[in-house]
Amino acid sequence: MPTLKIKNLSKTYANGVQALKNVSLDIPTGMFGLLGPNGAGKSTLMRILATLQEADQGQVTFDKLNVLTQKMELRKRLGYLPQSFGVYPKITAETLLNHLAVLKGLTKKSERKEVVAALLHKTNLYADRQKNLGGYSGGMKQRFGIAQALLTNPKLLIVDEPTAGLDPTERNRFYNILSELAENTVVILSTHIVEDVKELCTNMAIINKGEVLMQGNPRHAIEELSGKIYQRTIRKSELADYKKNYRVIADKLLLGEPIIHILSETDPGDGFSRVTAGLEDVYFAHIW
Ligand code: ADP
Ligand code: MG
C-alpha cells in the first residue's frame, strides 16, 4: 500500500506570510484528517501536494515518486477537490463529467460512457444526472466534485474542506463515499470541523500557523487526555481569572453561561467535575 511522506516542507508567500514551517507527515493508506483553524496552512499544503503550487523547501514522496518534481506522473495518480470548486451552472452533471473525462484522456466513447455512469452511481447522482448543475444542492455539488476527482482512478485523493456548508444528511452521504474509497487509497481531508475527523479518520494531524502540533491516531490522542479534563460553569466575568489559574482549553456557552474545560493532572476541586475527554479537547489542548 502506498504512503505519502512529507519531510520538512516550508512555504513563504511573496507578502512574507510563512504558510508552512517545516511540515513533516507520514500519511498511510486510509483516511487522514488535516485539522486546523482558518489560516493554518491546510489549503497551501494541499495545493503543493496536488502539484499546483511550489514549495520553497522540503521533500514529498508518494510510493517511489518524487511529488515535487515528477508532477506529470503524480497527476496520473491524483484526484483533487479544491476548497472552492466551481461548476458551469447551465450544463448537466452527465455532460460536464463526460467533457472532463475527455480532457483527462478517456478518448474511447464506449469506455468513457461506462466510467461516467459508474461514477454517477457511486456518488448517488445517477438519478439527477440530467439536471443542470446550477440547480444542485451544496451536497450534490460536492459529490459531483468527488466524481470528477475520481475520473483518473486515483491512488491519492486530496479533498479540501469538503463538508463546509453541508447539512448533516449531505455530510453523512459524503463521508460514506470517502470511507469506501479510503480502503485502498490515500485520502487526505482537510477540515476545521473536529467532528469530521472523529467520525472518519484513522490518522490525523493538527496544524496551526503553518506548524504541525500533533499527529497520530485520534483514539490514542483522546486516551492520552483521559482523566485529565475537568469542567465547570462559571460567570462570564470570572473567565479571565480562571485562565490565569488553570490551563483552560475551551470555553463555550450553555444556556448563556460559559462552561470551561481545563486540562489538569490532578483533581482541581473548586467546583470542577471530571468529564470524558473528546477529540475537541485534543484539538483545543493543542491550539490554545
Ligand atoms: P487554510 O486553508 O488552513 O485556511 P491557507 O493555506 O489558505 O490556510 O493560508 C495559510 C496562510 O497563508 C494564511 O495566512 C493566508 O492568508 C496565507 N495565504 C494563502 N494564500 C496566499 C497567497 N496566495 N498569497 C499570500 N498569502 C496567502
Ligand atoms: Mg483552506
Q: Which three cell numbers stand for residue 28?
A: 498511510
Q: Is the CB of 191 under 6 A from ligand 1?
A: no
| Rounded Cα gap, residues 278 and 225, in angstroms | 8
CA angle 8, 197, 60 (to 5 degrees): 20
- Please identify, by atom number, the ligand 1 atom nearest to the C-alpha of residue 15: 25
Burial label, 169 (beta-carbon count in 10 A; 0-12, 13-18, 19+): exposed
Q: Best of 10, 11, 12, 17 to mutate for ligand 1, by most ligand atoms within 8 A of CB?
A: 17
CA of 171 relative to ligand 2 center, distance in Å:
18
Query: What integer best gives the mean pLDDT of the chain?
Result: 94
Helix-then-strand count for the chain, H and E: 10, 14
Q: Which residue has the higher pLDDT, 171 or 115?
A: 115
Q: Is the CB of 44 under 6 A from ligand 1?
A: yes
Residue 195 has pLDDT above 90, yes or no: no
Category of 92 on φ-ψ map: left (φ > 0), alpha (ψ -120 to 50) or beta: beta
Q: Span 230-249, mean pLDDT?
A: 92
Contact 19, 57 (CB under 8 A): no
Q: Which three cell numbers stand for residue 194?
A: 473536529
- 58: enclosing H helix or E strand: strand 57-62
Q: Span 11-26, mean pLDDT?
A: 98
Nearest to 100, CA basis, from 165, 243, 85: 85
Q: Is the CB of 39 under 6 A from ligand 1?
A: yes
- pLDDT tens track for 78-124: 999 999 888 889 999 999 999 999 998 899 999 999 999 999 999 99
pLDDT for 236: 87
pLDDT for 255: 79
Protein residue whose Cα sits closest to atom 22 of ligand 1: 13
- Please identify, by atom number, the ligand 1 atom nearest to the C-alpha of residue 37: 3
Q: Is the CB of 53 under 6 A from ligand 1?
A: no
pLDDT for 170: 86
Q: Is the CB of 15 under 6 A from ligand 1?
A: yes
Contact 249, 238 (CB under 8 A): no
